[in-house]
Each structure stands twice: as C-alpha cells, then as structure tokens.
Amino acid sequence: MKLVLSEKFKRAVPVLDELEKHGYQAFFVGGSVRDAILGRPINDIDITTDATPSEMKEIFKTADHYAGEKHGTDLVFFQHENYEITTFRVDGQYLDNRHPDKVFFTRKLVDDLARRDFTINAFAMNQQGQVFDYFDGLTDLANRTIKTVGEADQRFSEDALRILRAFRFSSQLNFAIDPSTLAAANDMKANLQAIAVERIYSEFTKLLSGTNPGRSLTQMFQIGIVDFLPGHQLLESVQDLFVNYPGSGQSEDAVNWVKFIYLSQLKSNKLVRYLKQWKMSRHLETQILASIDFLSQKNIGNLDLYKIGETIHIALRAVPRPDAEQLLDRYEHLPMHKDNQLQLDGQDLMALNIPKGPVYGRILDDLKKKVVLLEIENSREILLKEALHDYSNLGTIEK
C-alpha cells in the first residue's frame, strides 16, 4: 500500500531526510500510520530509525534533545517541531509486567515492529508513502479487529497495560477484539495489579473518549477486567448499564468521566471514595462532583445554576437534556456568577461597625443568595442596607 503524505507528515520528512542522508534507515511508525490509512486525524508523529541515540545527537547537533538512551528514544526539537525518534530495538525481559529490563538495538525494521502491541500499530511508512506491514495489520484493519503481534499471552505478560490498551483501541476505533486476544486478556488480567493507578487512569480515560465505550466496558465486566480497576468494589451490579453506552464524541476528559459516572448511578456516599481511588486531579474530581450533583436535581433553580458555575457546560455536554438551552440561557443571565462579583465585601462590613468574626461569612452568603434569587439588586447601596438588616436579625449567640 502507498499513501499520499498529509501536510503533517510532509513537515516531518526533513527529519527522515537528515537520517537517510547520513546513511541510516528512517520511517514513520505506529499509530500515525494507522490513522493515515484509516483517514483519521493524526496527532503525534513518531519516527523509527536504525541510528542509535548517540548517533542521532551527532546528526542533529543543532537540535534540542531529550534523550532516553536506555530505551533508545530521543525527543528531537527540529525545525520548530518535536519528534520522538526511537532506535530499532529488541526488548529484553519484562520483570515487572510493564517495562523491559534492557533493550538491544538492531538494524532490522521487522525486529522492531515485532515487539509492538497490536498488528494495527505495527506499521511503518517511508517518506514516499510506502507502507510496510509485516504482521497482516492491513487485514485486521479491513476486518476492524484488534489482534496482538504474535502470541497474545506473551504480549500481555510482557506488559499488562496492553490489556487495557486493547479495550481502549476497541472503543476508540469501534473495532472488535480478536477472540484469542480477548481470551488471553482474561487469562492475564491479574497482572494488572502490577500497573500504577496513574497509567490505568490514562488508558481508561482514553477508552471513555471512544466511539463505542459500551462494548469495551461490557466485555471488561464480563471477563472480570474491572475487578482490577480502581474502586471496582463500588461498581457492583452495574454491568447492564453499559450495554448501550453511547460514545460521547468528546475529547474533554471531564465530559467523558461525568457521562461514565452518571450512567454508573453511583450513590453520593460512594462517589467521593470511588473518584479518590483513581488518583485523578483535584480539579477534575471537583468538576465531576459538581456535575453529578447538578444533574441529580429534579427542579433546577438559580442557586443550583450559580453553584455549578462554568461547569454547567461540562454537565450538559455529558448528559444532554431537552431543557439544556434554557438552562444555559438562565445561567448566562444570572446577576452574578462568582463570589467576587458581589458588590460588597468584608471591608464594607467593617465600615458598618459590624464586629469581625464568623458573622461576616453568614451575612455575605445570605446576600449572595438573595442576589442570585433576584430578591435584591447587586448594588452596593442596597447591599449595605441589607447587611445591616441581616446583622440586626442575627441572634445573640450567632453574633
């Protein structure tokens, strides 16, 4: 097969030129070639070569390098672009079910491609657009199948994360997992215990962004893969909820996680514990909790709109509602959207000779509530009068 290079590949051709000019082989490799064949958008372009990292440093003397010489990878900043260039290699033993203990450089492209995870990721392409397919990946692309390069048991025992990658690619590409590959995933699933939560989170998040996460999630329940995911004990008896799980078509992590959590129907008393076990960012966790709380409200009032804030856009993209446009319009027309937009602060309360203390928080919260509910205007003059009124109405103990 021969492809017409896209502009993104053409911009990287000078890197291949430079390597070939010095007598080395150089190819585009992996997912970018797969996506080019499928006509999908291309993200990062990876390059493979028989030049070693030290040889690459000599070739790209004026370029910035971030080298990982132990594993034969060099990140080269060349002509205003970053390119990850990896030396043809053969992996040593995988003692931790994740990384080879050593790598051996080779001069053969086929040896390098043989160590890759799936046939659809084991393509190489030269700068003329000629695709090299040693493991029948083109057939698997045509059949929309995820299949390992070589024996699936060996691939998964080398790197247990590949098990999750199989389900991730199945979701993203809407491909079926080959029966022998699925069986091996079932056999080797316990090795996922050796994988860091952060790496599992990364693959699972990509799975949720796919076009058909429902099939992947359902299969993961069926063969017990979920038993090795963070918080699995809190997801009991929800397998059937994912059979018709639609792809969101959204690239934003928060949208996809909100959709997943909403369909999981996790109770609020379990939700915080579940999210903590995934070790996601505090910001993402906050967005999910705010969205789920908002979506659980039967009658959404101004206070609910104010409380969720800008996260309303995430919530409504994750779980579309018939009244979404109306809710967004109501949100946009709130008299204030952030606490600091209240036209009164603690300094003003001090000027009113109100003794400093917890009472300040109570008064300011009450004023914000009244403004959001349209009971009073967000005007400093009006707020000063209302603050005095609130203070006079507070009980002696509260003061």
Per-residue pLDDT tens digits for 70-96: 556 777 777 778 888 999 999 877 766
**Contacts by 393-399 with C-beta closer than 8 Å and gap 24+?**
394/359, 394/362, 394/363, 398/359, 398/362, 399/355, 399/359
Q: Indicate if the pLDDT at residue 180 is higher than 60.
A: yes
Which CATH architecture best describes the domain 146-245?
Orthogonal Bundle (1.10)
List of residues 6+ apart from 303 with CB closer than 8 A? 369, 372, 373
Per-residue pLDDT tens digits for 283-339: 999 999 999 999 999 899 999 999 999 999 999 999 999 999 999 999 999 999 999
Question: What pLDDT score does 396 carry?
Answer: 43
Question: What pLDDT score does 397 carry?
Answer: 38
Backbone Cα Rg of the chain:
28
Q: Is the pTM of this model over 0.75?
A: yes
Q: Between residues 94 and 32, which one has the greater pLDDT?
A: 32
Burial 271-305, CB ≥16 within 10 A → b, else e: beebbeebebeeebbebbbbbbbbbeeeebebebb
Question: What pLDDT score does 238 carry?
Answer: 65
CA distance 345 to 353: 13
Which CATH architecture best describes the domain 1-143?
2-Layer Sandwich (3.30)
Question: What pLDDT score does 67 carry?
Answer: 52
Question: What pLDDT score does 62 carry?
Answer: 65
3 state DSSP class of 145: strand
CA distance 87 to 374: 65
The size of the chain, in residues, is: 399
| Contact between 129 and 2 (Cβ < 8 Å) | yes
